[in-house]
């Protein structure tokens, strides 16, 4: 299955690894900028000498492709439960093929959406967020750090309309996103950090990296000084 975007360096063998790996989930409503921040974090980590990779969900596998079709064209005759099961199957493949192997190698995994998004997005169409969490945690490793990019829904909707020529997809209608955001706001994971997604990109990146560095240091690993951008 074609999957992650890898940020290669000339000498991959010199990249520093984290014992047991580190899983960082980037979460938030559409338009919050988490994809930009996740990719920037991987770049910054690799410049600092860490072996980091970017993953995203839904994946490019068969179940993820089906989900992306639903997002773009409509749910058709798919029930909320069937949609949830597609996400569950897609994530199970991602865990088996990408996430666990990367963690076993000691890599820092920056994942653009994880099962918290399932809790919020499928919860917003009537499923129980807690049941979704329990079903995922039967096989999916818990994130070491959850970066939640908080953004007012009206700003997210404006960003989507201005940046995507195709407009909002099914999962991005403003009324729906209001329900999604409400569920995100109620989450109380101890490793979850709420970030202000209205900050300028550079300022938000610096805060992301500060939080990631803290997570690395909690493992007892020293973090070398940053590159020119201090990221």
For the stretch 55-89, pLDDT in tens is 999 999 999 999 988 887 777 678 999 999 999 99
pTM: 0.88
pLDDT of residue 43: 98
CATH fold of the domain at 12-217: Rossmann fold (3.40.50)
Strand ranges inside the chain, DSSP E: 22-27, 52-56, 108-112, 145-150, 192-196
- The rounded distance, in Å, linking the Cα atoms of 12 and 4 is 16
Q: CA-based Rg of the chain, rounded to a whole angstrom?
A: 17
Q: Which among 203, 155, 181 has a CA at the least distance from the CA of 28? A: 181
Average pLDDT of adjacent 10-residue blocks, the chain of 231 residues:
41 80 96 96 97 97 91 78 95 98 98 98 96 98 98 85 59 83 97 97 98 95 65 54
Q: Which residues contact 57 (CB under 8 A, 6 or more apart)?
A: 64, 87, 90, 91, 94, 111, 112, 113, 114, 117
Angle at 228 between CA 224 and CA 230, to 5 degrees: 55
CB 42 within 8 A of CB 54: yes
pLDDT of residue 193: 98
pLDDT score of 10? 42
Query: Which tokens is 89 given?
Result: 């199957």
What is the model's pLDDT at position 19? Answer: 94
* CA gap 181, 186 in Å, rounded: 9
- C-alpha pair distances (Å), 204 with each of 30, 107, 136, 149, 210: 16, 23, 29, 9, 10
Contact 54, 84 (CB under 8 A): no
* Sequence ranges of the domains in the chain: 12-217
- Residue 7 CB neighbours (<10 A): 17
């Amino acid at each position: 299955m074609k999957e992650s975007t890898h940020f290669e360096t000339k000498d991959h063998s010199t990249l520093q690894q984290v014992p047991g790996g580190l899983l960082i989930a980037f979460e938030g409503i559409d338009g919050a900028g988490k994809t930009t921040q996740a990719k920037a974090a991987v770049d910054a980590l690799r410049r600092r000498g860490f072996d980091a990779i970017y993953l995203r969900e839904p994946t490019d596998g068969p179940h993820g492709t089906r989900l992306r079709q639903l997002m773009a064209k409509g749910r058709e005759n798919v029930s909320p439960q069937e949609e949830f099961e597609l996400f569950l199957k897609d994530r199970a493949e991602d865990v088996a093929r990408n996430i666990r192997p990367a963690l076993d190698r000691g890599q820092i995994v920056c994942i653009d959406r994880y099962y918290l998004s399932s809790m919020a997005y499928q919860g917003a169409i009537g499923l129980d967020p807690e049941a979704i969490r329990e079903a995922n945690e039967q096989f999916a490793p818990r994130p070491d750090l959850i970066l939640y990019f908080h953004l007012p829904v009206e700003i997210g909707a404006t960003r989507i309309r201005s940046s995507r020529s195709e407009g909002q997809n099914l999962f991005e209608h403003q009324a729906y996103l209001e329900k999604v955001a409400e569920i995100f706001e109620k989450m109380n994971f101890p490793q979850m950090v709420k970030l202000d997604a209205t900050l300028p990109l550079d300022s938000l990146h610096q805060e992301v990296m500060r939080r990631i560095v803290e997570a690395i240091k909690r493992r007892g690993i020293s973090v070398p000084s940053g590159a020119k951008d201090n990221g």
